[in-house]
Structure 1
Amino acid sequence: MLFTETFSEFYSKVKLSLEDGTFAKLTLAKTIGNTDLMNIYVRPILDENRLKLELKFKFQREELFEIHTIDSAFPRLLEFINNPFLSAILFTTEFDLTYKLNKKRAVSVIEQFPSFTHASPVILEYLESKN
């Protein structure tokens, strides 16, 4: 089953939080069964004064990193929705947004109070440099 449309809607909120300076972090979690890949952590970085995303793949015994543009990170993350991850959590300073698949693979998106009071320092630095 493809989750392109629902995850695309969720990812649009990720992009908006990057643009408006409220992004704190993004995490893919809750795996199906016992997998070697445990989490994917996404954080913004500046690469030659361009805002990009660093994807940190947390395995049981190692960590791997990839750098992507904001747009190219979407298909890379989409590969892991439902295989092996059942949830993605966007943390912003305005809300936490959880994209979740249940056992029947029905999608729900839940907004909760924010866990973070400060946006990523990289986002703030990037937005300040644009002004």
Structure 2
Amino acid sequence: MKVRQNLYIDRDLSDALEALASGPGVNKSRLVSDAIAAWLARRGSKEIDDLLKLRLDRISREIGLVRRDIDVVLESLALFVRYQLLVTAPLPDADSAALAVGLDRFEKFVGQVGRQLASGKRTLGPTSSAETSL
């Protein structure tokens, strides 16, 4: 069902509408109806875009913070490894007891990292605790 509307529009818009409607199979009612429907659809999508924009901005900020934290962790790890390699003397190949102790410590370290990650506990951060059982 169609409803008749009496609208007042600027002369320039009326002339442009007349020119568009002059083609075969096109009429002013269809053009105006399609234009209003498109405008209303964009208006609804603008609300969704505004909501998504807020969420995307928040996610972008959080990703920036995560990137910063990763940079800090990587730089700390690199400095620690560099320090360890410069300060710690290499073990002689014949010292199998020292190698065994080192391997045992490494296995305990990897196990502790696994347990920390599985439990959700973090050594650094808001939920840090003094519990370390290396």
Taking structure 1 as the reference length, what is the TM-score of the superposition? 0.21
Q: Which has the larger share of strand? A: 1
Q: Which has the larger share of helix? A: 2
Q: Which has the larger radius of gyration?
A: 2
Taking structure 2 as the reference length, what is the TM-score of the superposition? 0.21
